[in-house]
Amino acid sequence: MTSPAAPAAPGERPALIELADVTRTYVMAGIAHTVLDGVTLSIAAGEFAAIMGPSGSGKSTLLHILGLLDRPSEGSYRFAGRDTGSLDDDALSELRNRAIGFVFQSFYLIPYATALDNVLLPGLYSPMPGQVLRRRAEELLAKVGLAEQAGHKPSQLSGGQQQRVALARALINDPDLILADEPTGQLDSATSAEIMELLASINRDSGKTVIVVTHDQATAAYSGRQILVRDGRVA
């Protein structure tokens, strides 16, 4: 029996994300403010990367562009080889819903919905049959250790449990990319480690690309590559 092949190194994998000379400028009170200044960046499919930088460095704006929540003022962004600049808003929304899962610092769970219903939310626009989608949501809750809490509402869950629900929700449409914005920002150190272990296992076991935006070195240490953003540029 032959041994399984070792995972390809990032440089040997196809690029999932390709930014070329991306600039993002906002005009406020008639004054232009450049938040990203000529960012060129490539992230391979299956890579686990951390984007770091001080407050105001531009890392959140970079995350919004990577997540197709914002568009560059200049430059280009190719996602899985597809030029996102040529897509209209509906096409961007469809690609974002299908290919990107989001995890946020504040969880953003619907307070009156159960954990299961929160996980199912992005699947509303999925072509997957309802019963199949529900079964997948139950399996994902079990994967993050919350099978018994599927019927609980967010107020009945700890912060760590709420972030686990958010992580399961990010996975419901089987995306190519998980974008996590300060995912441990509201958690204690032990719970933070649990969440990061989950993200690392998702990257390792399913080969999904994971990008974490953080200012915390302990969180970034779980990644295979750290990208520093300073003054709107990749340092």
pLDDT higher than 80, residue 128: no
Task: Name the strand (E) or helix (H) holding 142.
Answer: helix 130-143
Q: Please give the torsion angle defined by the CA atoms of residues 135, 137, 138 and 142, in that order, rounded to the nearest 10 degrees.
A: 140
**pTM for the model:** 0.90
pLDDT higher than 70, residue 12: yes
Tokens linked to 25: 């400028």
Residue 36 lies in a domain: no
Residue 173 lies in a domain: yes
- Here the CATH number for the domain that contains residue 159 is 3.40.50.300
**Amino acid at residue number 148:** E
Burial class (CB in 10 A: 0-12, 13-18, 19+), 171: buried
> What does the pLDDT read at residue 17?
97
Average pLDDT over residues 161-170: 96
Per-residue pLDDT tens digits for 173-230: 999 999 999 999 889 999 999 999 999 999 999 999 999 999 899 999 999 999 999 9
Q: Please give the torsion angle defined by the CA atoms of residues 70, 72, 77 and 82, in that order, rounded to the nearest 10 degrees.
A: 60
Average pLDDT of the chain, as a whole number: 91
Residue 208 lies in a domain: yes
> What does the pLDDT read at residue 103?
95
> What does the pLDDT read at residue 4?
35
pLDDT above 70: percentage of residues in the chain: 95
> What does the pLDDT read at residue 13?
83
pLDDT higher than 90, residue 29: no
Average pLDDT over residues 111-130: 88
pLDDT higher than 60, residue 71: yes
Structural domain harbouring 99: 48-68+87-234
> What does the pLDDT read at residue 115?
97
Residue 9 lies in a domain: no
Cα separation, 213 vs 220, in Å, equals: 8
Residue 80 lies in a domain: no
Residue 216 lies in a domain: yes
- Between 65 and 12, the more confident residue is 65
pLDDT higher than 50, residue 98: yes
Contact 35, 65 (CB under 8 A): no
Average pLDDT over residues 12-39: 91
Cα separation, 66 vs 77, in Å, equals: 8
Average pLDDT over residues 54-80: 94
pLDDT tier at 10 (50, 70, 90 boundaries)? low
> What is the domain count for the chain?
1
Residue 148 lies in a domain: yes
Distances (CA, A) of 65 to 18, 45, 96, 151, 196: 11, 17, 11, 34, 23
Classified as helix, coil or strand, 34 is: strand
Residue 164 lies in a domain: yes
> What does the pLDDT read at residue 3?
36
> What does the pLDDT read at residue 204?
94
Average pLDDT over residues 133-159: 95
Average pLDDT over residues 4-29: 78
